[in-house]
Amino acid sequence: MSDASGKAVVTVGKGDAAFDVVVSELTVAQMRQVIMSNPWPGDGASEEDLVHYQLDNYLFEDCRLCDLSVIAGLDKAKLSSLTASELRKILAKAKELNPDFFAAVGRMRAARASS
């Protein structure tokens, strides 16, 4: 990531369990990476993998968990440990730092829905 990209810190958790998450402005290359990522676990996936896929895609209307993972540098285990309200805090900052990316994803979603 270039030094020119924006970053912000979001604190999640409470008390001794609180920690900081660095949310970043995506580069164009990272935007492409996020858009191209496909979390589909495959036809032979376990029930757990399928549930993870469903939550990844449908927990939030305008962002998959795998997208948030790239934007905030969180792995699957760390994402899984967060509550929806903590994830919304991170997502709000991600949207603030990446308005063009989220607008583009919204336009792509609308175009797919209308075809």
What digits encode the pLDDT tens for the residues 81-109? 999 999 999 999 999 999 999 999 999 99
- With respect to residue 2, please indicate whether it lies within any of the assigned structural domains: no
What is the pLDDT at residue 115? Answer: 84
Please state, in angstroms and rounded to a whole number, the distance separating the CA atoms of residues 64 and 58: 7
The answer to whether position 97 is within a domain reads yes
Q: Total structural domains in the chain?
A: 1
Q: What is the pLDDT of residues 28-46, one digit of tens each?
A: 999 999 999 988 999 999 9
Alpha carbon 62 to chain centroid, angstroms: 9
Confidence check: pLDDT of 2 > 90: no
Domain of 15 in residue numbering reads as 7-114
* pLDDT tier, 3 (very low <50, low <70, confident <90, very high otherwise): very low
Helices 65-72, 84-97: crossing angle, 10 deg rounding: 60
Cα–Cα distances in angstroms (integers) from residue 77 to residues 54, 65, 80, 84, 99, in the given order: 16, 12, 5, 14, 27
60 within some domain: yes
Q: Is position 1 within any domain?
A: no
Q: Over the chain, what is the mean pLDDT? A: 92
